[in-house]
A and B are shown apart, each in its own frame.
Chain A
């Protein structure tokens, strides 16, 4: 038997914080690829601390629904899962390369495949692009458009920005959008000045956040000048300084995120069968060009 645990932050204050986790867990459940699928949280229940013991499977794949490698993925989650042999060096990552490491949880007789976060997986690049397609309603969006990938950014963790820049570079190399930039809330270049960084009239802004909440629904829309007061809402697109800003909200709510979760588990050795095809078909996604995605996405058509 194999189980999937999606490890997310959750919230004591906001019930919406866990919505994407539940939605992606349900999408994976529907595929039947795992005998058990369980959500686990830092701030909700089941807590990271308790989750593994609720499973009957011997093989457990833990995928952190987090954007970057850092405090939560390197310290909190492995500690709370009681992965005593854990050491961040086992991931052999410089900030965006973590794939997986296999360990034993010391309170249960189970093998844990502890995966890198969803946010740094290559498949996440597709989700960001998919988000741009969703918000514009245009499956071919790109020509004449700029794309801003927005991260929190913080002085305390350099990996936070690395994840944003990693996908920015990958999307830029696809030569699909006229311009692709990484912007941040708490460091330069700042999302407040989004229009300063683009020549394109149309700019899609995709925040690389797991859930919609304070930052994506209050801070960023106000900082960018989409609205005076977040409670009044904003238009998509909204006119700002002669540009049309297509604000997408948190990328983590995109249905295709479930595909990234499956990719992480599959990279760690989980047998996911054709579950990825089902997820991509449900998300109405074309087979991506080339690379390692080509065979995995085969059969979904375009």
Chain B
């Protein structure tokens, strides 16, 4: 790989403008004694223009790296840029790295270890993988044997994590970010996915050769706003709206949800906001200083307030929780009582489809359920139970 002349020209122009540049280990300054050039591995001083150009060729990876981030990506301080740098283990913005150095308790991205430019180029030649929920992002250098003007350019491939070992020929290949909308709309049973961060993303597809902007746009369609909130969390300014704030803000038919009892909010979080149901990590609590009992999960991107699905479900639970408890009497064998437990559990865990037709040993087997209904339901189709007067 050579270093494109245009990149050297741009680098020199930047130094003329700013006096010095410092980026990802590359330092270049122009002083009275000539140019000073420094990388972690080498340094020169007192270079004239010709010597500078010769020296830059020996640190070409630093030059093309500078060009890629300053020109192709730009957007200093944006979530987009920070995410793309995270994708290849580049140091994140100074501000974020400093925050993390100062405060070990601030949320660091998973086992984040930054790499210097030569090491990054080495892993990027083979393609480097990062996981984002159920997505796997592969960052790789464009093969630049005959396109020197794009030396150092990265492209991005996106897959389902389950397809990591699948041959590309066996996948449906896309290159338009908008196609992600279609892929994300239905689960593998063709049911609508209203919650984009549900762990039910279908596999069998791949986006290849995306630019950095296109990658971020594609992820925005798969997991809207996750990059923006992740970036805020990194910077230490994630603005969390706890349950009570969100509930009290509601109007119209959702005006009632702030009446949901405190303990019911725990049950709701256990039902909806756990890793098995959503890839976001719940950061909101009942209110500041009053944490819910349920763990927020291990998702990579933070959930900063109850989502619209939770708000809609909360309305139903608020109505249901307003009912008084009563005592009922009904006839059941011990096994039948246990069977009710198995039925509820099977539905709650979404495993009714997995129960085999003839597996009558499973209490949630369809024939077992039909037998129980035939035996214990009244003629009107309800459970044959009598309310007990207290």
Q: Which A residues are within 8 Å of any B CB, using their own CB?
A: 11-15, 22, 26, 41-47, 49-51, 53-54, 56, 71, 75-76, 79, 107
Please indicate which of the listed interface residues B178, B196, B225, B229 has the most CB atoms of chain A within 10 Å of its own CB. B225
- Inter-chain CA distance A51–B227, complex, in Å, is 12
**Given known contacts A26-B178, A50-B228, is B239 in contact with A107 (CB within 8 Å)?**
yes
- Smallest CB gap from B80: residue in A: A56
B78 and A56 within 8 A (CB) = yes
Q: How many Å from the CB of B235 to the closest CB on chain A?
A: 12
Contact A71 B312, CB 8 Å, known A15-B185, A26-B178, A50-B224: no
Residues of chain B within 8 A (CB-CB) of A41 are: 308
Chain B residues with CB under 8 Å of A15's CB are 185-186, 192
Which residues does chain A contribute within 8 Å of B312, judged by CB atoms? 12, 43
User: Complex formed: what's the CA distance from A41 to B224 in Å?
Assistant: 11
Interface set of B (CB-CB < 8 Å, partner A): 75, 78-80, 178, 181, 185-186, 192, 194-197, 220, 224-225, 227-229, 232, 239, 249, 251-252, 305, 307-309, 312
Q: Is the CB of B308 within 8 A of A54?
A: no
Q: How far is the CB of A72 from chain B (nearest CB, A)?
A: 9
Q: How far is the CA of A47 from the CA of B195 in the complex (A)?
A: 11
Bound complex: CA of A45 vs CA of B312, how far in Å?
A: 14
Question: If A13-B192, A14-B192, A54-B220 touch, does A43 touch B308 (CB 8 Å cutoff)?
Answer: yes
Q: How far is the CA of A41 from the CA of B196 in the complex (A)?
A: 13
For A44, the chain B residues whose CB sits under 8 A away are: 194, 196, 308
Are B225 and A51 within 8 A (Cβ)? yes
Out of B78, B80, B178, B196, which one reaches A45, CB within 8 Å? B196
Q: Which residue of B lies closest to A16 (CB)?
A: B192
**What are the residues of chain A within 8 A of B197 when measuring CB–CB?**
45
Bound Cα distance A75, B255 (Å): 13
- In the bound complex, residues from chain B placing their C-beta under 8 Å from that of A12 are 194, 308-309, 312
Distance of A49 Cα from B80 Cα, bound (Å): 19
Of the residues B194, B227, B232, B249, contact of A43 by C-beta under 8 Å = B194
A47→B308 contact, CB < 8 A: yes
| Distance (whole angstroms) from the CB of A8 to the closest CB of chain B | 13
Cross-chain contact B225 with A50 (CB below 8 angstroms): yes
Q: Which of B196, B232, B309 contacts A53 (CB 8 A)?
A: B232
Contacts A43-B194, A47-B308; A54 near B252 (Cβ below 8 A) = no
Contact B308 A75 (CB under 8 A): no
Residues of A within 8 A of B249 (CB): 79
Q: Lowest 9 A-B CB distances belong to which pairs?
A: A46-B224, A50-B225, A45-B224, A12-B194, A15-B192, A53-B228, A46-B225, A54-B228, A45-B196
Q: Which residues of A are found within 8 Å of B239, using beta-carbon distances?
A: 107
Per the bound structure, the CA–CA distance linking A233 and B89 in Å amounts to: 56
Q: Which chain A residues border B194 with CB–CB below 8 Å?
A: 11-13, 43-44
- A-B CB contact pairs (8 Å), 15 listed: A22-B178, A41-B308, A42-B308, A43-B194, A43-B312, A44-B196, A45-B196, A46-B224, A49-B305, A50-B228, A50-B229, A51-B224, A53-B232, A54-B79, A54-B220
What is the bound-complex CA distance between A23 and B178, given in angstroms?
Answer: 11
Q: Which residue of B lies closest to A106 (CB)?
A: B239
**B206 CB, nearest partner CB in chain A, Å:** 22
A45→B219 CA distance, assembly (Å) = 12
Nearest chain B CB to A203 CB, angstrom units: 35
Which residues on A sit within 8 Å (CB–CB) of B305? 49
Inter-chain contacts of B252 with A (CB < 8 A): 71, 75-76
Q: How far is the CA of A22 from the CA of B196 in the complex (A)?
A: 16
Which chain B positions have C-beta within 8 A of A56?
Answer: 75, 78, 80
Select from chain B the residue with minimum beta-carbon distance to A42. B308
Q: A156's closest neighbor in chain B, by CB?
A: B252
CB closest chain-B residue, reference A45: B224
Instruction: With A11-B194, A41-B308, A51-B225 given, name 10 new contacts (CB 8 A).
Output: A12-B309, A13-B194, A15-B186, A43-B194, A47-B224, A50-B225, A51-B224, A54-B227, A76-B251, A79-B249
Q: Which of the listed residues B192, B195, B224 has the most CB atoms from chain A within 10 Å of its own CB?
A: B224
Q: State how many angstroms separate the Cβ of B174 from the closest Cβ of chain A.
A: 15
Contact A75 B251 (CB under 8 A): yes
Provide the residues of chain B in CB contact with A79, threshold 8 Å: 249, 251
B216 to chain A, nearest CB (A): 9
Contacts of A43 in B (CB 8 A): 194, 308, 312
B192 neighbours in A (Cβ, 8 Å):
13-15
